[in-house]
Amino acid sequence: MIKEIYSHRTIRKYSDIAVQKKIIDEILEAAVRASNTGNMQVYSIIVTTKNEIKEALAPAHFNQPMVKEAPVILTFCADFNRFNKWCLQRNADPGYDNFLSFLTAAIDAIIAAQNACLVAESNGLGICYLGTAIYNPDKIIEVLNLPKGVVPITTVTMGYPNENPPLTERLPVEAIVHYEKYKDYEKNDIDRLYSVKEANEENLKFLAENQKETLAQVFTDIRYTKKNNEYFSNVLFKVLKMQGFLNYDFSGSI
């Protein structure tokens, strides 16, 4: 049983204490040990510690303050560039300019990211995943000089915590888990499974602040709107094309 997993809190405020190189190295070593597809290791990690690069990255993350304030930022990328170069230098013809290869590399990048986060947390650091990496991948590509074959998948800010938030509510395990086959949710299942979330004090505050009738409306009308999701879906597709992951005939499949 790994206590970091059960006590995980997202940390958005960091103290000024620097993170020692030894700890960063341990975190990166953990990432590199991660399970991955065919041991191809088709991901890269960009370590940002310089203020000027943090400032350049900030708009890509909608200027969330953690990006400028965290001592260390890791951007995990799907990366077939290195593997493709190796193939070409070894008289092998790489066929990784397609959607399956992108998703494979994205999965590898995330497994590595979670290893890194847990080792960071076990060293007393706090972490925050920034989902915004897939909202503005074009901006991140520009700032970090990512070549063709490389797409940012997630960004993690880390540093020693300067806050001590309570454990976040989660849906009960029975909401997430299905035994043997998927059992679709009836109306009363949804009511029961979301009841704790809906009664949660923090969530009720959200609702009041946003003057919404239901917590679900806070998500659909404010936090994750259809309009934004479609806009950023298009950005993401354009980036996949630009980075060379839609380089085949897929007209029959969509």
CB of 17 to a copy of itself, least distance (A): 19
- 245, 28, 61: which is closest to 143 by C-alpha? 61
- 205 counts as binding a copy of itself under rule CB under 8 A: no
CB of 201 to a copy of itself, least distance (A): 14
Handedness of CA 202, 204, 205, 209 (dihedral sign): positive
**Buried (b) or exposed (e) across 47-61, using 16+ Cβ within 10 A?**
ebeeeebbebbbebb
| Cβ atoms of 45 and 31 closer than 8 Å | yes
Q: Alpha carbon 47 to chain centroid distance?
A: 15
Q: Which of 13, 160, 175, 196 binds a copy of itself (CB under 8 A)?
A: 175
Q: Which of 85, 165, 199, 204 binds a copy of itself (CB under 8 A)?
A: 85
Residues 69 and 48: their CA atoms lie apart, in Å, by 12
Q: What is the largest CA-CA distance in the chain?
A: 63
- 110 counts as binding a copy of itself under rule CB under 8 A: yes
Neighbours of 116 (CB within 10 A): 25
Token pair for residue 134?
């897939």
CB of 20 to a copy of itself, least distance (A): 13
Q: Which of 138, 192, 193, 196 binds a copy of itself (CB under 8 A)?
A: 193
Q: Which of 16, 39, 166, 201 binds a copy of itself (CB under 8 A)?
A: 39
Q: Which of 13, 69, 99, 196 binds a copy of itself (CB under 8 A)?
A: 99
Q: Which of 20, 55, 62, 86 binds a copy of itself (CB under 8 A)?
A: 86
Q: Which of 66, 146, 155, 161 binds a copy of itself (CB under 8 A)?
A: 146
Q: Residue 254, class by beta-carbon neighbours within 10 Å (0-12 exposed, 13-18 middle, 19+ buried)?
A: exposed
Touching a copy of itself, residues 41-80 (CB under 8 A): 41, 43-50, 53
- 87 counts as binding a copy of itself under rule CB under 8 A: yes
**Cβ closest to a copy of itself, residue 69 vs residue 172:** 172
Neighbours of 152 (CB within 10 A): 31
- 208 counts as binding a copy of itself under rule CB under 8 A: no
